[in-house]
Structure 1
Amino acid sequence: MAAQKAQRSHTLLLWLPAVVMAVVALSDVLTVPGLGFLPLASLGPAFAGLVGGWRRTAWFGLAALLLCVVLGLYDGLFQERRGFMAMVSVVGVTCAGIAAAVMRGRQEAELASVRSIAEVAQRVLLRPVPLTAGPLQAAVSYTSAVAEARIGGDLYEVVSSPHGVRMIVGDVQGKGLAAVETAAVVLGAFREAAHDEPDLVGLGERLERSLARVLEGEKFVTAVLAEVGTRHEVLFLNYGHPPPMVVREDGTAHFPQPPAYAPPLGLGLHSEGGPKPFSVGFAPGEQLLLYTDGVSEARDRHGDFYPLGERAVLLKDADAQGALDTLREDLVRHTSGPPHDDAAMLLLRYHGHTAGESGGDL
């Protein structure tokens, strides 16, 4: 819908200079000569400068100048100063429009370059998750709350390690480039430690130490770590993050809670004790959804939260990415507009181990 509106606006701006000049010419012909319509011909190149390059503005300026000559001769205005003043105004507006078009072109080129760099940064920071990892099929959805942005403070990753398939979904406090920088630190530390640390607690401690070196003040990151090994279960470590949703084979949804909530990453390094890992049954045919609070705390126009548990039935598509896209579209309809917070979702489906796969080779 937004794209259609933008296209209609662009089309209107393309035709507006010609329409304005036609109206000026028609008004001048149908009215008494000398009413002063001639200077309005400069509106043509003025509107032409809003879209397109400087050549487009120059062509409309030339057309407006010719229109002034024709109408000036028709009205007999060149016998006095008004005809020449109208031509001067057209030339002046055209020159200003050309200068503005050149500057806008340079700015658009710079913006395109920045966007290109941002897309590369996105692929490095939030690279696509593997379609399959061990016994799991994965799909991801990310929506940034910042207009025109593709990355933000939410993060996700899936790593197949010698200790199992390990996942993280997190939410960095704050917005903007500072949040993106913190997300990069967490993801970099997770990708390395997921292969090295033999257990999930050690992995969490590595993330804590990495963040302690870069975070200032009371900045923090909520996150949930998950691990799927050879058993039909998933192991969780929750750092103040919304509980994951496990969807059973019959479609019922459960939100497993930790035995005790731990402080977010960045706040718990010096606290007594760390988060306690806990496991939940996770068998072939079942699904696991890790998400950020941009999903669970999304509100509709009446202020009601998104009923994620009730929407678990939307994850029935045979294709994991298709199912997650359906859920995301339903979330957008619920909020009836752009999101107020970043929203990340990581969907994992248990399809069983492949033939010849051992527990240590995930």
Structure 2
Amino acid sequence: MKTEAEQLAGQLQSIFNHLHEHPEISWEEHGTSAYIKSIVSAYDCRVQTFDDCAAVVVEIGSGKPVVAIRADMDALWQEVDGKMQANHSCGHDAHMTIVLGVFLSLVKKGLPETGTFRFIFQPAEEKGTGALKMVELGVVDDIDFLYGMHLRPAEELLEGQFAPAIHHGAAKFIEGTVLGEDAHGARPHLNENAIQIGTEFFQHLNNIHADPRVPYSVKMTAFQAGGKSANIIPGKAVFSIDVRAQNNEVMAFLTKKIEQIAAMLENYHGVPIHLETKANVAAAVPDETAAKILSEAIAEQAGRENMKPAITTTGGDDFHFYTIKRPTLKATMLAIGCGLKPGLHHPQMTFNHDMIPEAVNILVQALMKTAADNREG
């Protein structure tokens, strides 16, 4: 007998096709928001939207516990076949399709007597700020359990395999500015060369040493100084630093070291160096209870042989801000093996769409089991 998700397979493929063909970048997901509302509004549910962002929050059921599932909505901005455009190369189109599939399956299956199911369509994950916005809006204040998901590259999980947690690392993107003055090429004593300052900054980044038992990296990923005039010594520059760490403690250590380098070079050269954090994604702290429920759902729906241990990856996801900002929240993410190649964020990323109904089945089972095991009374 076919599951609800399998019966919905054709509709889910149509939903995916629409989302994939209409990508929108962070904080601009308004067409995506309208499309999601057009699907859920055909059913008996409560829909919440917001004036200052494109998020959509959908609810069915009533009472405790409140069990939620989150999908990220935004696409990347990248070059595809020689053209800069929005592109769903991180799988967010699949994540939204899966969450809509869970919603449609639960509506079709029928709800338990008690328990609220909340579906959170969150903007701006790629900026690392969307989850924080949802926290600010109070979307997760009364939630007991929260589930997320992410497609995994083929080197992490084989097609048809699933894991009950993703141990993402912390990620931070820092933009720096050297605020000196230009000078004539014949008079290098009249200014501090921003290129020299950048070179020294780069070298000091390479001299940072953190706990070798914890994976981490610090690297300058962009540097711009000077212009078309070769006889001008540039005093100004802008640069970017990408910071990664497998836990939040090492991330804090690395951030402090970067700030110390900036302060030292600023003092030595007498030139202001301004640092601004453009994105800051926390490392994962999955909840054992939620991960256990998800493990059982994987075993029941995909077979115990396809249930794999939690994935550890150096990538990041702002999903983990939910538990940092609301420590009582029990949360974890489903890792989905789907034959994803060549890799996440590759402009030509592809995966097996047949894994969408499979993921829906697992998450429907997890949500139903969570509600049954934690209902009031």
Which TM-score band (shorter chain)? Answer: under 0.3
Q: Say which structure is richer in strand.
A: 2
Instruction: Tell which structure's C-alpha radius of gyration is larger.
Output: 1
> Greater share of helix residues, 1 or 2?
1
Q: Structure 2 length normalisation: TM-score?
A: 0.20
When normalised by structure 1's length, the TM-score is 0.20
- Work out which structure has the larger RCO, using CA pairs closer than 8 Å and 6 or more positions apart in sequence: 2
